[in-house]
Structure 1
Amino acid sequence: MANEVPALASLPGLSSRASLIADAIRDSILKGIFPPGTELVERQLAEMFGISKTPVREALISLARSGLITMSPNRGSTVRVLDEAAVRSIYEMRLLLEPHAVRRATEDFPSRVLKQARQTLEDARDAIDRADYGELSLVNRRFHRLLYSACGNPLIVVALDEVQDQLALLAVSMLWRDESPSWEQEYQEHRRLCDAVGAGDAERAAELMTAHIEASLEKTRVS
């Protein structure tokens, strides 16, 4: 198992530790440090983070609930490998929720969040230019979350957070199969989305999001 995850300094509280460990493992998965199929061994992770196995176990359980890893009595924890049925389910959920969430958010979009969304576009441009596709996967996830998290419905936000994690995992899976997603096209689609949100055009933003999701699904190939 790769050892790029940095050791953590002393962390307050068990639940806080588990949350921070989950975030670190999630980022490592979504950046491709732990590719699909990688076994995540509690003892090794605990040694890497310099903590006991208990918060690591809690973190892995949390990641299993979000669909990023699988846990079984015989094999332990492994980074999830998405099959065709899983991809269809992910995109079906996304098409149902994300255009609606963006429409709702655009009706009264916070200027502070819009500024952050525009900054992520600059971050994405930089990652594309550097061919840092692991980082770009995280930046794209952050961009989408900024748009839908302002919808005012926390249940939708939680559901879409899990969907976006699994979409980022799918992007990493494609990279490991030498099937690069169309990052430049996605970047341009994100720019148009951001412009519609900034203009307060809720219907246009929802239409662009629907088209963006459908185009992404069309390009997706699962072995």
Structure 2
Amino acid sequence: MTGIRHAILAGQLTAGQPLVEADLARLYGVSKTPVREALKTLAGQGLVRLGDFKGATVTRVDAALVKDVFNVRGLLEPPAVGASVRAGVDLHPAEDLLRRARDTDSALERSVLNREFHRTLYEGCGNELMIEILDGLRERTALISVTLWKSVHSWDDEAEEHSAMLAAALSGDAEEAERLVAAHIEQFAAKCFAQLP
């Protein structure tokens, strides 16, 4: 049921919105069973909250979520990127992802490309647990990002930050790449906090 995930990350199903199994089953032309299973999967990815009696809702983007996600990313992603650089991993594929993200007008596509760009920088770190944890935050990061991009057009700033991160990584300057990744995560988190009620 990628349709539900797509609708959440495209902002068609908004944060806090109730997800009624019968309505979703009708919408997607399936029985309630695959919808129920999809909602459980999406809950595991942090996109959906399952209540005991109230059913499922799209996860709300609140200060606690932003703090938790970006604190963990801030701790793990910079050293993971630094380790990839030190390992001499070919990071040139990130150039194409960055170009494609700049060229698209779709916030959803940009969000996907943004996540792939970050993953390309950290996936060669050699620490499978670190990769698994960072991958596990990708959907939550996407939900936060799509929510923010609706109210603040910050992509140009982020694209510049991505370019600087990539330039440092491609030049083999692991320490500078780590510093820029940490600053990027911190600045994006600050933008998120500024938009929260």
Same fold (TM over 0.5): yes
Name which of structure 1's ranges 102-111 and 91-100 shifts more when overlaid on structure 2.
102-111
Q: Can you give the 5+ residue segments of structure 2 that lack an aligned partner in the other structure?
A: none
Query: Equivalent residue of 2:49, what SS?
Result: strand
In the alignment, the residues of structure 1 paired with residue 39 and residue 158 of structure 2 have an alpha-carbon distance, to the nearest angstrom, of 31
In the alignment, the residues of structure 1 paired with residue 149 and residue 98 of structure 2 have an alpha-carbon distance, to the nearest angstrom, of 21
In the alignment, the residues of structure 2 paired with residue 117 and residue 139 of structure 1 have an alpha-carbon distance, to the nearest angstrom, of 9
Pick aligned residue for 1:157 from 118, 123, 131: 131
Matched, 1:169 2:148: no
In the alignment, the residues of structure 2 paired with residue 199 and residue 208 of structure 1 have an alpha-carbon distance, to the nearest angstrom, of 13
Matched, 1:204 2:176: yes
Deviation (angstroms), 1:47: 4.0
1:1-223 mapped onto 2 (5 Å cutoff): 21=1, 23-111=2-90, 114-127=91-104, 130=105, 132-176=106-150, 179-220=151-192, 221=194, 222-223=196-197
In the alignment, the residues of structure 2 paired with residue 70 and residue 107 of structure 1 have an alpha-carbon distance, to the nearest angstrom, of 39
1:26 to 1:146, Cα distance in 2 relative to 1, 3 A: farther
Name which of structure 1's ranges 162-171 and 183-192 shifts more when overlaid on structure 2.
162-171
Q: Compute the TM-score of the two structures, normalised by the length of structure 2.
A: 0.87
Q: Can you give the 5+ residue segments of structure 1 that lack an aligned partner in the other structure?
A: 1-20
In the alignment, the residues of structure 2 paired with residue 104 and residue 47 of structure 1 have an alpha-carbon distance, to the nearest angstrom, of 48
Query: Equivalent residue of 1:151, what SS?
Result: coil
In the alignment, the residues of structure 2 paired with residue 218 and residue 65 of structure 1 have an alpha-carbon distance, to the nearest angstrom, of 26
Query: Equivalent residue of 2:87, what SS?
Result: coil
- Code of the residue aligned with 2:155 in structure 1: it is W
1:116 to 1:75, Cα distance in 2 relative to 1, 3 A: farther
Q: Compute the TM-score of the two structures, normalised by the length of structure 1.
A: 0.78
Name which of structure 1's ranges 46-55 and 164-173 shifts more when overlaid on structure 2.
46-55
- Code of the residue aligned with 1:107 in structure 2: it is R
In the alignment, the residues of structure 2 paired with residue 164 and residue 214 of structure 1 have an alpha-carbon distance, to the nearest angstrom, of 16
Which residue of structure 2 aligns with residue 5 of structure 1? none
Which residue of structure 2 aligns with residue 11 of structure 1? none
Q: State the superposition RMSD in angstroms.
A: 2.0
Contact 2:92 2:170 in 1 (8 A): no
Deviation (angstroms), 1:204: 1.5
- Code of the residue aligned with 1:217 in structure 2: it is A
Deviation (angstroms), 1:173: 2.1
In the alignment, the residues of structure 2 paired with residue 28 and residue 200 of structure 1 have an alpha-carbon distance, to the nearest angstrom, of 39
In the alignment, the residues of structure 1 paired with residue 96 and residue 16 of structure 2 have an alpha-carbon distance, to the nearest angstrom, of 33
